[in-house]
């Protein structure tokens, strides 16, 4: 039995879906494929193009890339590998299952849109966290300045008390302070009172501790958001999708 049609053309072409290795015109035969219109057993259901099963099936030529229609029966959908008949059936399948476009492009665009939405969401959260951190730093600066002012005022009061006590001791040693006879002199005892700490200092110190803790928490949030955005940017490549 011959593997293909003879020179006289009396033999029939091989059945669809079966490609003989030495069939004339196939790439496996070593010869340059040249379509022979005498072998065209059908026409494309989407256009008047003649259809050659032994060439189209071997090359897997996509004749209509927008609808992923192969000029061959049966065929597989290039988007989901769904097997079906060419022409109208596969076209209906693509319109029904993929809305007329490749599943890979559709899913890719959906993934990119989702990633872009997440990136914008995290970017907004990051901006808000940075704003909160800056406000906390500003409040911390104000509280630190106020605490320093109160501390300086307290030290000034302590210094004034020490100076007054020293002046009193010097005046008594110089005889400026006299003791009348018959009166038991009572040596004045100068008690250095501890300065009463302004209650606002404790309040501001507590606020400073809280602000430091908040700042540390915000710094961690900012760092985590930056890492998350970096990961998202790596997952969102710049891809041009041709409709």
Q: What is the tens place of the pLDDT at every residue in 52-61?
A: 544 444 444 4
Instruction: List all residues 6 or more positions away from 219 whose beta carbon is below 8 Å from its beta carbon.
Output: 133
At CA 76, angle to CA 73 and CA 80, rounded to 5? 160
Mean pLDDT of 11-37: 48
Alpha carbon of residue 149 to chain centroid: 45
Split at pLDDT 50, 70, 90, the class of 132 is: confident
pLDDT of residue 108: 52
Contact at 8 Å (CB) between 136 and 209?
no
> What is the Cα–Cα distance from 50 to 2, expressed in whole angstroms?
25
Split at pLDDT 50, 70, 90, the class of 231 is: low
Mean pLDDT of 220-241: 62
Burial of 150 per CB tally in 10 Å (0-12, 13-18, 19+): middle
């Amino acid at each position: 039995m011959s593997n293909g049609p003879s020179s006289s053309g009396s033999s029939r072409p091989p059945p669809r879906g079966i490609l003989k290795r030495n069939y004339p015109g196939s790439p496996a035969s070593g010869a340059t494929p040249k379509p022979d219109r005498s072998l065209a057993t059908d026409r494309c259901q989407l256009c008047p193009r003649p259809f050659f099963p032994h060439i189209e099936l071997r090359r897997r030529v996509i004749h209509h890339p927008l609808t992923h229609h192969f000029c061959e029966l049966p065929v597989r959908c290039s988007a989901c590998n769904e097997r079906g008949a060419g022409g109208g059936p596969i076209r209906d399948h693509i319109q029904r299952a993929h809305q007329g476009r490749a599943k890979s492009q559709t899913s890719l665009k959906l993934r990119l849109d989702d990633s872009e939405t997440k990136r914008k969401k995290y970017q907004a959260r990051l901006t808000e966290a940075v704003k909160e951190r800056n406000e906390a730093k500003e409040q911390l600066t104000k509280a630190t300045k106020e605490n320093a002012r109160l501390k300086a005022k307290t030290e000034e009061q302590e210094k004034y008390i020490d100076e007054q006590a020293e002046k009193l001791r010097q005046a008594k040693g110089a005889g400026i302070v006299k003791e009348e006879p018959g009166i038991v002199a009572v040596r004045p005892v100068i008690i250095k009172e501890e300065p009463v700490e302004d209650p606002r200092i404790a309040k501001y110190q507590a606020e400073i501790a809280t602000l430091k803790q908040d700042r540390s928490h915000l710094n961690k949030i900012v760092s985590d958001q930056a890492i998350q955005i970096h990961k998202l940017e790596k997952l969102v490549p710049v891809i041009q999708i041709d409709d």
